[in-house]
Structure 1
Amino acid sequence: MFFNSPIKYNKSNLIEDFEHAGIKKGDCILLHSSLSRIGWVNGGAVTVITALLDVLGSEGTLVVPTHSGDNSDPSGWKNPPLPEEWWEKFREEMPAYDARTTPTFLMGVIPELLRNWPGAIRSDHPQTSFAAVGPLAKKITAGHALDCQLGERSPLARLEEVGAKVMLLGVTFNSCTAFHLAEYRNSPRLDKNRFVAMVDGSRQWVSVSDITFEDSDFGEIGCQVMKTGSFKEVSVGATHCWTFSIADAISTATTWMEAHRNNLA
């Protein structure tokens, strides 16, 4: 698929670049990625994952977002909208979230592969799960509350606790989920959220109150993150690799939102 790319990469190239990006053994990495942006990689997503795991070593942990946002009430679908006369039938037949089998939705090849990786553990939120491989996987994915997509009772807060790093591989700050944790801490707007889940062994539509996300200023927040001491940038294949501490991401986003989102109730 990518063979015509002018950039052709092997695992050894990736390992060298990840090390130059400041990744070291024992780190915990939250990876957001686009395989196609790298160019042609010998072995594709498997090579990217194994290269990162080799750099992290047996004491390191790799985490990816394995979101499945298509598990939602069809009345809210916009691109494209679903005709109203179909809503009830879709509600009746939508599969409930299953951490073992539910595929990712619009997340890319690497997260979809890692959720099935040997030893991978996945969190329990039907829409915003994360999967992790490594000794911290259970701690990071445990306790993901149904009414807390990306807040204090989600893997993002656990990643902050363990001092994780964020890696944006071929994607922009618009993909930086860590910024959403700051939203929970800055007078978020609440709305109803619905999805299908297994509750006490029974398939149910669940309605919860959760925040309404606003990511239009994530690029501007990212520009501030690039000024922090933890930020590093290297080239990986045909694209960029940005790494920084999740603590810097969250604190920068919190400061920005406090200053620029005064209209939030």
Structure 2
Amino acid sequence: MDQATPHTIESLAADLRGLGLAAGDVVLVHSSVRALGFVAGGTQAAVAALLEVLGPAGTLVVPTHTSDNTDPAGWQAPPVPEAWWPVIRAATPGFDPARTPSRYVGVLPEVVRAWPGAVRSDHPQVSFAALGPRAAEIVAGHRLDDALGEQSPLGAVYRLDGRVLLLGCGYDSNTSLHLAEWRQAAAPRAEQGASVLRPDGGSHWLTWTDVQTDEDDFPQIGADFEATGAAVVGRVGEATARLMSQRALVDFATGWMDTHRGGVS
């Protein structure tokens, strides 16, 4: 490691302001804390820096997805024996916004999820957590069959004209691009499954149908979007960071998918 001094809440906040993040913003953050370099206070300090910049009028949103609460029949990394599938469906604890940890979205969302005052949506696979005055509005009404669509937290951020911050990660992690997928009239749909809580506190396996996600072209969409000059690229700590309007991104991606995926929105 060759950075001259540790990064701090104050230095990260200065970097975020330099990038264009402002007090009162609604911002959806995707992150790799490791990319920031050494931070005094680690992930907690990174969250504190974001909250310092946003101030009391701003709202921080993060993905708290639980992609392990999916049908084991589709698992590939690694797959599990078919004989295990019914056991997994029957024995997996139902998703609980207060208890179920996020998976595969980095360490920063877990810190936000546990932060005093944070609220979380109740989708058993693609929940989001939020902190701030618009948090409850953003996470409310997250429908099973509109996981990343208009009635999801992504749709709420769009309606609030929020922003997206990619902190040390790329467009393959940019969940807002899924909102453009949900806007495709011909988007392929598939059966989904997850363990959910019953009103009595027990668990049961539930299935429903929703859009089938496909992130393969997300890096190309991101590159084409940045070529329009609509994203601000800079440094936060040691990380490359990208800040953009979520509306501009989703509107661009919707048109891009119309053309390149052959759908009609």
The answer to whether TM tops 0.5 is: yes
Superposition deviation, residue 225 in structure 1:
2.1
Corresponding residue for 1:6? 3
Would the aligned equivalents of 1:37 and 1:238 in 2 still touch at CA under 8 Å? yes
Once the two structures are superposed, residues 9-31 of structure 1 have per-residue CA deviations (whole angstroms, 9 ceiling, x without a partner) of 11111011100111111000100
Give 1:155's aligned amino acid.
Answer: P
CA distance in 1: counterparts of 2:9 and 2:2, whole angstroms: 16
The 10-residue stretch of structure 1 (229-238 or 48-57) with the greater mean CA deviation from structure 2: 229-238
Matched, 1:224 2:224: yes
Secondary structure of the residue aligned to 2:145 is coil
* 1:1-265 → structure 2 map (5 Å cutoff): 4=1, 6=3, 8-186=6-184, 187-201=186-200, 202-228=202-228, 230-262=230-262
Tell me the percent identity.
Answer: 41
Contact 2:89/2:194, CA 8 A, preserved across alignment: no
Structure 2 Cα separation of the partners of residues 57 and 75 of structure 1: 44
Give deviations 1:157-190, integer Å, cap 9, x for gaps: 0000001000000000111111100111112101
**TM norm structure 2:** 0.95
- Judged with a 3 Å threshold, the aligned counterparts in structure 2 of structure 1 residues 228 and 62 are, in CA distance, closer, same or farther, namely farther
- Secondary structure at the aligned position of 1:257 is classed as helix
Report if the CA contact (8 A) 2:117-2:131 is conserved: yes
Code of the aligned partner of 1:23: L
CA RMSD of aligned residues (A): 1.6
Task: Figure out how many residues of one structure are paired with residues of the other and give that number.
Answer: 262
CA deviation map 1:77-105 (0-9, x unaligned): 11111011222222221110000000001
Kept after mapping to 2: 8 A contact 1:143/1:154: yes
Amino acid corresponding to residue 97 of structure 1 in structure 2: F
Give the residue type in structure 1 aligned to 2:143.
A
- 1:5 Cα shift? 5.5
Q: For residue 189 of structure 1, what is the amino acid of its counterpart?
A: P
Q: Which amino acid aligns with 2:127?
A: S
Deviations 1:50-88 (A, max 9, x none): 111011100000000000010012121111110112222
Q: Which amino acid aligns with 2:188?
A: R
Q: How far 1:233 moved relative to its partner?
A: 1.2
Q: TM-score, normalised on structure 1?
A: 0.95
- Give yes or no for contact 1:30–1:166 (8 Å, CA) kept in 2: yes
In the alignment, is the contact (CA less than 8 A) between 2:257 and 2:263 conserved in 1?
no
Q: Tell me how far apart the structure 2 counterparts of residues 111 and 5 of structure 1 sit (CA, whole Å).
A: 27
Contact 1:5 1:40 in 2 (8 A): no
Residue type matched to 2:57 in 1? E
* CA distance in 2: counterparts of 1:263 and 1:129, whole angstroms: 27
- What is the Cα deviation at residue 192 of structure 1? 0.2
Letter in 1 for 2:187: P
